[in-house]
């Protein structure tokens, strides 16, 4: 987590890290999207109550590396999350995101991810971005395409999702030279 992160996404939307005071909102939003999210994310099973989200937020320490533990906020409302995990030994960033059903279709995740990618390449010296999405997660895969990431393969059974099930993940990647051509 980077406590200082604050990115305006336009239209009154902001990407910023969670604070302890956000645990209620975070749990409430996960809980109301539980069935949708459990298809793709194992961590939904760990979101059992507000305390679990207080613990999650507390575990996102400022390590000077990954840009994780971020919420997408529209006005006062939490709309979802968007993170960039950094693998420093390979100069690589990995994107992850989710969105409340009511906010789908406004381009919020695409803009949040674009902002994190720009910061990753320009300020963090990253060389490559990666995203892994469930084969059947068409919305997520559409975001990957909009971000200009290229499909690189299918990792079989690599994603653990809700209920202890596994899904195949499409791996998408982009190197910094490709990104420069898109901006």
Partner 1 sequence: MNRNQIYWDLGDRVVIRSYTLDDAQALFDLIDANRDHLRPWMIWEHTTKSVDDTRTFIQSCLDESVSIEGNGIWVDGELAGGIGLDIDTLSNSGEIGYWLAKPHEGRGIITRACERFFDVAFDELGLHRMELQAASGNLRSRAVAGRLGMFEEGVARDGIRVADGYLDSIEYGILEDEWRARRVPT
Footprint on this chain of partner 1 (rule: CB under 8 A)? 42-43, 89-92, 127-128, 130, 150, 152-160, 166, 171, 173, 175
User: What is residue 68's DSSP assignment?
Assistant: -
Find the shortest distance in angstroms from Cβ 51 to partner 1. Answer: 20
Residue whose CB is less far from partner 1, 139 or 150: 150
β-bridge partners, 130: 94, 173
Residue whose CB is less far from partner 1, 42 or 65: 42
Residue whose CB is less far from partner 1, 31 or 45: 45
Find the shortest distance in angstroms from Cβ 173 to partner 1. Answer: 5
β-bridge partners, 117: none
Find the shortest distance in angstroms from Cβ 171 to partner 1. Answer: 5
d(C-alpha 182, C-alpha 171), whole Å: 20
Copy the structure tokens of residue 149: 């990431």
Find the shortest distance in angstroms from Cβ 103 to partner 1. Answer: 25
Copy the structure tokens of residue 134: 């469930």
Locate all alpha helices (DSSP H) within 61-153, ordered by sequence.
Answer: 108-122, 138-146
């Amino acid at each position: 987590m980077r406590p200082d992160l604050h990115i305006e996404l336009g239209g009154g939307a902001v990407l910023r890290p969670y604070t302890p005071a956000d645990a209620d909102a975070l749990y409430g939003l996960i809980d109301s999207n539980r069935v949708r999210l459990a298809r793709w994310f194992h961590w939904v099973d760990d979101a059992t109550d507000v305390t679990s989200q207080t613990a999650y937020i507390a575990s996102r320490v400022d390590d000077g590396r990954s840009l994780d533990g971020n919420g997408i906020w529209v006005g006062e409302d939490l709309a979802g999350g968007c993170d960039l995990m950094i693998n420093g030994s390979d100069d690589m960033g990995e994107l992850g995101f989710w969105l409340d059903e009511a906010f789908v279709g406004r381009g919020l995740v695409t803009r949040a991810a674009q902002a994190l990618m720009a910061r990753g390449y320009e300020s963090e010296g990253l060389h490559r971005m990666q995203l892994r999405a469930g084969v059947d997660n068409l919305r997520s895969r559409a975001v990957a395409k909009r971000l200009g990431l290229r499909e690189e393969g299918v990792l079989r059974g690599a994603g653990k999702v809700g209920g202890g099930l596994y899904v195949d993940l499409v791996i998408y990647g982009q190197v910094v030279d490709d990104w420069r051509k898109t901006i």
